[in-house]
A and B are shown apart, each in its own frame.
Chain A
Amino acid sequence: MGKRFVGDLTQFKDKMAQYGYSGLRYFGQRVDDVNGPGIVTGTIGWTFNVSLPGMLVGKLKRNPYGHAKITSIDTSKAERISGVVFVGTAKHPMFAGKLMFGDEPVLCDKEVWSNNDPVAIVAAETLEAAEDALDAIDVKYEELPVEMDPEAAASPSPSVVQKSPPPNKQGRPNCFTYVPLIYGDLDKEMAASDVTVEMNPELPPDPHGTPAPMSAVAVWNGDGSISVWDDVQNIHAVPWPTVAGMVGLAQEMVHFHGPEVCAGGFGGKNAGIAGVYAAMLTIITHRPARVLYDRTEGLLHVSRPNWKWKIKIGAKKDGTLTAIQATAYIGGPYGRFLGGLLERARNGITGSYRWKAVKYDGYASYTNAQNTLSYRGYSSPETCYAVELAIDELAKKLGMDNLDLRLKNYLNEGERNAMNEIFRSMGEPGVAKKIREFMDAWGPKPSVPDPWVVGRGFSGGNKYTQGTMITNTAHLKFKGNGTVEIITDSMDLGTGLNTVWRQFVAEGLNIPIEKTVKLEVNTDYAPFTTCSYSSMATFHGGYALVNATMNAKKLLFANAAPILKAKPEDLETKDGKIMVKGKPEGAIPWSQAFPAIPGQPGPAEELMVSGGIYAPDDYQGPGKMDPATSQCLGPYFRSVLFHSHQANAAEVFVNKETGEVRVNKWAGGCDLIPANPTNVEGQLEGGSLVMGLGTTLTEARWQDKGMYLGKSYLDWKIPTVMDIPKVDNVDTALVPVWGEAHGDNPRIDAPFGAKGTAEGVQAPTAPCIANAVADAIGVRLTTIPFTPDVILKALGKA
């Protein structure tokens, strides 16, 4: 096993006490995943395990073309197939609406904008009948020209104008979102630079490739309501209102159930679209219906968009960074969450370094590329890729050590960044130094036999966590038998959230984790809690939970004080008992302190306590953002809650004859106070190393005129265990940071100092491996993935 560094948490004990901790008994501990056995044995509550008697199989007929006009759809043959119950097209009023941002047909009837667009839906008794019916639906298309390039699509005079009427942002007919960031005097600072670096990094689409494709089951209830089980990352924010809105039911008439563990999300299960189709089918047929995407649909229904960057950065001779100019082009067939990506790219640019001037322009335009959705890191990995490649080249030009260059320019705790936000919880220098220390400990580069060559690379990275859209509430139900039930939204995506949340409650109440239970997430009783996206479930949901434990203790201590003949502030809880601090002998079970029911003798049998925060847009103090410059106006106003920071180092072997690249050693770290170090290390190894390695080296996305070719896991190549370094060659570091730059703004609490990590860990991986490959072959490659053909072309062999 490689090095496993976990920073000392005891230094924060006093601070944590203010937030109600019980002495790091459960928090910060290596607690095994409570869902481990269920996941390993397949008995966990996956959505695709939901099966109801008489359930129909729902399947979608998908468009094969990149862009085409639909000239006719004939479903008559399909309707006659034995076992087929229903065949629908956009002519049916149920399927005539638009999804998401209102530009995406539920079923297309006039035009298809991207491969995989649905044109018809079938419900059948069996999968065989459903697939026979799909084959029997005769759709006639007239192919139209495609535009796959987001930069060309953003042109003021594009070859194809995609939508009518054209959105026409910034005088660009296909552009539907434009996001700027202006800070300082770019021309002056660029002119005053001694060295500049310019490059055009590009990250093509890469699908989420979740372990299980989307699935949902819906059933029509006799009272006109429906129940929906959907494999989603959250239920309140998007899936519940989306499903209810699309089927025309009030939200309370849709009983929405999340999975016990979401079968992989990476942002691709934020919308729950399969649930929309399942709900529609059950309302039409009055029978339970399942929509389960197959692997091909799983790889086609969502992806990262194509990112094209034009970036230029400058510095003084001594390495002081001066200015950055960055233009981002992204595109997709529908708006979805693309505008938000451009907004978050600003945070990537301003989330690590001190710039004297910044000019950023982000354009999102309609293209015929694969449909998109929020993708792991939501622009942080893509933005850090562009910035960190340029920083690496800048260090070479300056003749400076690339860590020294970074350390010289990292923002300080409390400093204002180029969006005028007070920067806090800044742990990047510590993480970067630790990872560099690991890399240095690898010793000199090994000698490898010809034709292999060795390279090493390093990169930092950052990931914002958003604060808007947050209403956090968590309920805790105390049982007389000493157990506590946790009732919240937010799904464990295999990340260990179900375990971490139990750790928060166990720590807050000082009870064993086994005495806590997380109930099924559903809209019948779960409150709106933060969602499992933006790396924030641990932070926000954890806050609400700890807050609930503190509220509970207040209530319990007030009731117990007369019984124990002590002041409430002199009491403590331990293992389901309340006692005077340090005097376990007189302890009473907490059930004795439950509030009394009027007219009944003795306390109630259960106690329900809620906790949480409500944080509207001004959660960091009053203010607003200037849309023309993206500058935060107001003393404490921020566009994000905080940044998390990461660093990676890698050693790669490159075969100069075959173009193959293998990662031999790797180190990754992040800045946080880990609720569960094992979980964070798992995130680093899985999310940073494996997923980052895949997107950088193997996951090429092939298409021909917008028709995708790599539609199976043989052609879209995620790394196998044979592609990642040996366990001995993998080092991880968790570097604690406690943000101090609070000013006098009170809204800065973090549960026990924890902050999210998750998707952020992927931010430094692609630039790190790219920097290592550049070191190995002496040629700078900027468009991932670096498949053998790309490497050999760079070496002049193709």
Chain B
Amino acid sequence: MKAIAAYKYYDAETLQEACATLNQYAGKAQVLGGGTDLIDWMKRRFMPTPDILVNIKKIPGLSGIKEEGGALKIGATTTLTDIIENSTVQSKYKALADAAMKGPAPPIRNMATIAGNLCQHVRCWYYRWPDWYCYRKGGPICFAPAGRNIAHAIMEQKVCNAVVASDPATALAAMNASVTVQGTGGTREVAVKDLYVVLGTILKPDEIITTVTVPEAPSKQAFLKSRVRNAVDFALVSAAAATTSKGTTVALGGVAPILVAGSPDDVNAAIGKAAPLSENKYKVSVAKAMVKRVTA
């Protein structure tokens, strides 16, 4: 058993309240959704414990799945189980249901929210333990290139070699989905494929994802995930493809600190330029094969 260091807790009742509180704590607050990643992240004490957790699950209207003008709208606090069990998602957005299904175990899926899943911290083992003061934590270097890197990035590495941990993100990026982000200054729309930057997301300290929008049901779609264990395991490589009126988009997860998404040719070209680390060259051939499979 591990104990969490002391922190304050705030139940936000409106988005404005939540954003204002986040703004007030200027980076020393964390948004609490299902808490399935955040609580473990805090228990391990490898990053400073936030001053406050802002719970957004009590904000009315933030949970639920609906179709609106041909688009699919998923509220931020909708759980992965809700997504998996939703008949519209199952019939029209199967790749997303598959991605949500192939993630955590049922008890976690019952708690975890879609926005929390997108915003979860990376699983890099150097980052997740206090024993290594890595670049992502504010330290001088990333330990992966000279260390153990079987699960790390093969492209777009720059200063950190951790990979995006979310499977739904891969599926959503292939579906050209976007997230609505609200802050103290108003709202903005961000494409899921642009959500991630090398050391996290584009969210500012006062911002919250409120809605995930899939603009159009794909006419053809697929999601594949390779992993060591057949359940309760993060992707070594995940791949999704979706064909819509705008063409076919492919997205790759598990290969970079950001999402790699674009046309099949773009993504294949990106794989061609991959720069694997000492132990993860295998990911290049897996990625190539999986792109071929999801676009077949």
CB distance from A769 to the nearest CB of B (A): 15
Bound Cα distance from A793 to B281, whole angstroms: 9
Flag whether A178 is at the interface (Cβ < 8 A). Answer: no
Flag whether A709 is at the interface (Cβ < 8 A). Answer: yes
A sample of 12 cross-chain residue pairs with beta-carbon separation below 8 angstroms, ordered by A number, consists of: A64-B131, A128-B4, A128-B6, A131-B5, A135-B45, A707-B131, A714-B234, A717-B229, A717-B233, A787-B150, A789-B150, A798-B281
Given the known inter-chain contacts A131-B3, A720-B232, please indicate yes or no for A709 contacting B286, CB distance below 8 A.
no
Chain B hits for A130, CB < 8 A: 3
Bound Cα distance from A722 to B280, whole angstroms: 25
Flag whether A74 is at the interface (Cβ < 8 A). Answer: no
Bound Cα distance from A26 to B2, whole angstroms: 45
User: Closest B-chain residue to A789, C-beta based?
Assistant: B282
Task: Tell me whether B231 and A720 are in contact (CB under 8 A).
Answer: yes
Task: Tell me whether A723 and B230 are in contact (CB under 8 A).
Answer: yes
User: Closest A-chain residue to B227, C-beta based?
Assistant: A660
User: Closest B-chain residue to A705, C-beta based?
Assistant: B147
User: Closest B-chain residue to A658, C-beta based?
Assistant: B226
Closest 6 CB pairs of A and B: A798-B282, A722-B231, A657-B289, A658-B226, A64-B131, A792-B282
CB distance from B103 to the nearest CB of A (A): 12
A116-153 CB mask vs B (1 if < 8 Å, else 0) is: 00000000001110111001000000000000000000
Bound Cα distance from A703 to B148, whole angstroms: 7
**B215-241: which have CB < 8 Å to A?**
226-234, 236-237
Chain B hits for A788, CB < 8 A: 226-228, 236, 282, 286
Task: Tell me whether B229 and A698 are in contact (CB under 8 A).
Answer: yes
Given the known inter-chain contacts A127-B3, A294-B2, A704-B148, please indicate yes or no for A657 contacting B286, CB distance below 8 A.
yes
Chain A hits for B290, CB < 8 A: 657-658
Chain A hits for B232, CB < 8 A: 714, 720
Flag whether B17 is at the interface (Cβ < 8 A). Answer: no
Bound Cα distance from A575 to B8, whole angstroms: 64
Bound Cα distance from A15 to B264, whole angstroms: 73
**A680-728: which have CB < 8 Å to B?**
697-698, 700, 702-704, 707, 709-712, 714-715, 717, 719-723
User: Closest B-chain residue to A126, C-beta based?
Assistant: B3
Chain B hits for A700, CB < 8 A: 150, 228
Task: Tell me whether A294 and B1 are in contact (CB under 8 A).
Answer: yes
Task: Tell me whether A702 and B125 are in contact (CB under 8 A).
Answer: yes
Residue among A128, A135, A715 facing the most chain B CB atoms (10 A cut-off): A715
Task: Tell me whether A292 and B1 are in contact (CB under 8 A).
Answer: yes
User: Closest B-chain residue to A723, C-beta based?
Assistant: B230
Chain B hits for A723, CB < 8 A: 229-231
CB distance from B264 to the nearest CB of A (A): 17
Bound Cα distance from A798 to B287, whole angstroms: 12
Task: Tell me whether A128 and B236 are in contact (CB under 8 A).
Answer: no
Chain B hits for A717, CB < 8 A: 228-229, 233
Chain A hits for B10, CB < 8 A: none
Flag whether B92 is at the interface (Cβ < 8 A). Answer: no
Task: Tell me whether B148 and A659 are in contact (CB under 8 A).
Answer: no
Chain B hits for A703, CB < 8 A: 148
Bound Cα distance from A130 to B237, whole angstroms: 40
CB distance from A659 to the nearest CB of B (A): 6
Given the known inter-chain contacts A660-B226, A717-B228, please indicate yes or no for A792 contacting B1, CB distance below 8 A.
no
Given the known inter-chain contacts A657-B289, A658-B289, A788-B236, please indicate yes or no for A720 contacting B282, CB distance below 8 A.
no
Chain A hits for B231, CB < 8 A: 720-723
User: Closest A-chain residue to B126, C-beta based?
Assistant: A709
CB distance from B48 to the nearest CB of A (A): 11
Partner of B228, one of A135, A294, A698, A722: A698
Task: Tell me whether A658 and B286 are in contact (CB under 8 A).
Answer: yes
Bound Cα distance from A792 to B130, whole angstroms: 32
Chain A hits for B281, CB < 8 A: 798
B246-286 CB mask vs A (1 if < 8 Å, else 0) is: 00000000000000000000000000000000011110111
Chain A hits for B226, CB < 8 A: 655, 658-660, 788
**B142-176: which have CB < 8 Å to A?**
143, 147-148, 150
Flag whether A797 is at the interface (Cβ < 8 A). Answer: yes
Q: How many A-B residue contacts, CB cutoff 8 Å?
A: 106
Bound Cα distance from A64 to B286, whole angstroms: 34
Chain B hits for A722, CB < 8 A: 229-231
Given the known inter-chain contacts A294-B2, A717-B233, A720-B232, please indicate yes or no for A797 contacting B125, CB distance below 8 A.
no
Task: Tell me whether B230 and A702 are in contact (CB under 8 A).
Answer: no
Task: Tell me whether B286 and A659 are in contact (CB under 8 A).
Answer: yes
Task: Tell me whether A798 and B285 are in contact (CB under 8 A).
Answer: yes
Bound Cα distance from A658 to B4, whole angstroms: 38
Bound Cα distance from A204 to B77, whole angstroms: 43
B96-124 CB mask vs A (1 if < 8 Å, else 0) is: 00000000010000000000000000010
Given contacts A720-B232, A723-B229, 13 further A-B contacts (CB under 8 A): A294-B2, A658-B237, A660-B230, A702-B148, A704-B148, A707-B132, A712-B128, A720-B229, A722-B230, A722-B231, A792-B285, A792-B286, A797-B285
Residue among A698, A714, A721 facing the most chain B CB atoms (10 A cut-off): A714
Partner of B1, one of A127, A711, A797: A127
Flag whether A662 is at the interface (Cβ < 8 A). Answer: yes
Chain B hits for A660, CB < 8 A: 226-228, 230
Partner of A709, one of B148, B227, B234, B280: B148
Chain B hits for A128, CB < 8 A: 3-6
Chain B hits for A793, CB < 8 A: 282
Given the known inter-chain contacts A127-B3, A722-B231, please indicate yes or no for A657 contacting B150, CB distance below 8 A.
no
Chain B hits for A778, CB < 8 A: none
Chain B hits for A702, CB < 8 A: 125, 148, 150
Chain A hits for B45, CB < 8 A: 131, 135
Flag whether A102 is at the interface (Cβ < 8 A). Answer: no
Flag whether B25 is at the interface (Cβ < 8 A). Answer: no
Flag whether A451 is at the interface (Cβ < 8 A). Answer: yes
CB distance from A730 to the nearest CB of B (A): 16
CB distance from A690 to the nearest CB of B (A): 12
Chain B hits for A657, CB < 8 A: 285-286, 289-290, 293
Bound Cα distance from A714 to B290, whole angstroms: 24
Bound Cα distance from A704 to B284, whole angstroms: 23
Flag whether B129 is at the interface (Cβ < 8 A). Answer: yes
Bound Cα distance from A662 to B227, whole angstroms: 11
Chain B hits for A451, CB < 8 A: 289
User: Closest A-chain residue to B124, C-beta based?
Assistant: A709
Partner of B129, one of A131, A292, A711, A789: A711
Bound Cα distance from A698 to B226, whole angstroms: 13
CB distance from B121 to the nearest CB of A (A): 13
Chain A hits for B147, CB < 8 A: 704
Bound Cα distance from A704 to B167, whole angstroms: 27
Chain A hits for B143, CB < 8 A: 704
User: Closest B-chain residue to A64, C-beta based?
Assistant: B131
User: Closest A-chain residue to B286, C-beta based?
Assistant: A658
User: Closest B-chain residue to A704, C-beta based?
Assistant: B147
User: Closest B-chain residue to A792, C-beta based?
Assistant: B282
User: Closest A-chain residue to B292, C-beta based?
Assistant: A657
Residue among B5, B147, B227, B229 facing the most chain A CB atoms (10 A cut-off): B229
User: Closest B-chain residue to A65, C-beta based?
Assistant: B131
Bound Cα distance from A662 to B4, whole angstroms: 38
Bound Cα distance from A715 to B128, whole angstroms: 11
CB distance from B208 to the nearest CB of A (A): 27
Given the known inter-chain contacts A722-B230, A723-B229, A797-B282, please indicate yes or no for A132 contacting B289, CB distance below 8 A.
no
Chain B hits for A712, CB < 8 A: 128
